[in-house]
Structure 1
Amino acid sequence: MNIDKILAISGKPGLYELKLQTRTGFVAESLTDGKKITVGMRSNVSLLSEISMYTYTEEKPLVEIFRAIAVKENEGPALSTKEDNAKLAAYFKEVVPDYDEDRVYASDIKKALNWYNILQSKGLVSKEEPKVENAESIKEQVVEEVKEKKKKTTKKE
């Protein structure tokens, strides 16, 4: 499962894939409807690979939680987020037995399951070990891609 370029943008529903970086922000494509949007540098954006949830012993990366759900559901869809909070908490307890019930709220569980279902519908979840690069290397890759595109456009002129 490679979610290195998958973003959660505050104030925007769903998940987005990072396409390229611009001077004033970056371009992202929605995983739900495929629309491209520009996001300014002032927007609150999180890479899914950088998000984790509280457990009693440590913080567990979201990638590992998604992998646990994929193993439980045999890479199928997770429980619907429309279920009541008690059922969602019981389901999440099966997936992550040691999650901290005091610090992980029902809204966090719903968001994680919703994100998993979006990724699952796009075929981005698997039972294999997660491959997570750090955010800086991704940023460098995107900057290099933009530089390459600029070189190609200036050579044509």
Structure 2
Amino acid sequence: MDYSDIASVAGKGGLFKIVKPTRTGVILESLDDKKQKLVASATQRISVLSDISIYTTNQEGSTPLEDVFRKINKEFDDDLGVTATSEPDELKAFLKHILPDYDEQRVYVSDIKKVVNWYNALRENAPELLKEKKEDKKKEKKEPKEQKSKKTEKSE
């Protein structure tokens, strides 16, 4: 599973796994334990997590949500210290800690609440997405080289 396989639907709480496209929309399955299926039509606003980013004041102008989730996981892991029902000042301080250059004018408290809720949903249902990308790539690159060297040792 990847961030491009998970979506948010406007008006529906939580995250959904994209099962498959249809002629008129997409079949989605809730990411929680209920595994409820939903057919989202083309008229509904569906946002894929890989396309979502948080506004920043740096040169790029935004940071992908995927990077933000990985920073949160690296820094806090299971205990965020905030929930979606926390005070607005606490939520802003939390995001400021994770993303010091986030744009306070364009990122609303409701957006931070979504980040917290979505992070918790991913931690429970797809924790592999929160791991560092670089480590995974290094492991994948090392394994084939080690296998090749073992084969060449056997043939010698």
Distance 2:88 2:114 in 1: 12
> Aligned residue for 1:127?
131
What is the TM-score when the length of structure 2 is the normalising length? Answer: 0.77
Aligned to 2:143: none
1:69 aligns with 2:72: yes
The 1:23/1:77 distance shift into structure 2, 3 A limit, reads: farther
- For normalisation by structure 1, the TM-score amounts to 0.77
Is 1:54 equivalent to 2:58 in the alignment?
no
Does the CA contact (< 8 Å) of 2:57 and 2:103 recur in 1? yes
Runs of 4+ in 1 over 2 A off after TM superposition: 123-127
Corresponding position of 1:22 = 22
Alignment-derived partner of residue 41 in structure 2: 40
Q: Using the aligned pairs only, state the percent identity.
A: 38
How many angstroms does 1:91 deviate by? 1.0
The unaligned stretches of length 5 or more in structure 1 are: 131-157
Aligned residue for 1:4, secondary structure, equals helix
Q: 1:85 aligns with which of 83, 88, 91?
A: 88
Whether the 8 Å contact between 2:122 and 2:130 is mirrored in structure 1 is no
1:41 Cα deviation after fit: 1.2
1:66, 1:30 → 2: CA distance? 19
Give structure 2 stretches of 5+ with no counterpart.
135-156
More helix by share: 2
In angstroms, what is the RMSD of aligned CA positions? 1.5
Residue 148 of structure 1 is matched in structure 2 by none
Contact 1:16-1:30 at 8 Å conserved across structures:
yes
Structure whose alpha-carbon radius of gyration is higher? 2
Do 2:51 and 2:64's aligned partners in 1 also have CA atoms closer than 8 Å?
A: yes
The answer (yes or no) to whether the contact 2:15–2:30 under 8 Å persists in 1 is: yes
1:147 match: none
Over residues 7-51 of structure 1, what are the superposed CA-to-partner deviations in whole Å (9 max), with x where a residue is unaligned?
011111111000011111111001123101111111111100000
Deviation per residue, 1:113-142 (Å, 9 max, x gap): 111111111133423128xxxxxxxxxxxx
The answer to whether the Cα contact below 8 Å between 1:8 and 1:47 also exists between their aligned partners in 2 is: yes
Once residues 63 and 98 of structure 1 are traced to their aligned partners in structure 2, the CA distance between those partners, rounded to angstroms, is: 16
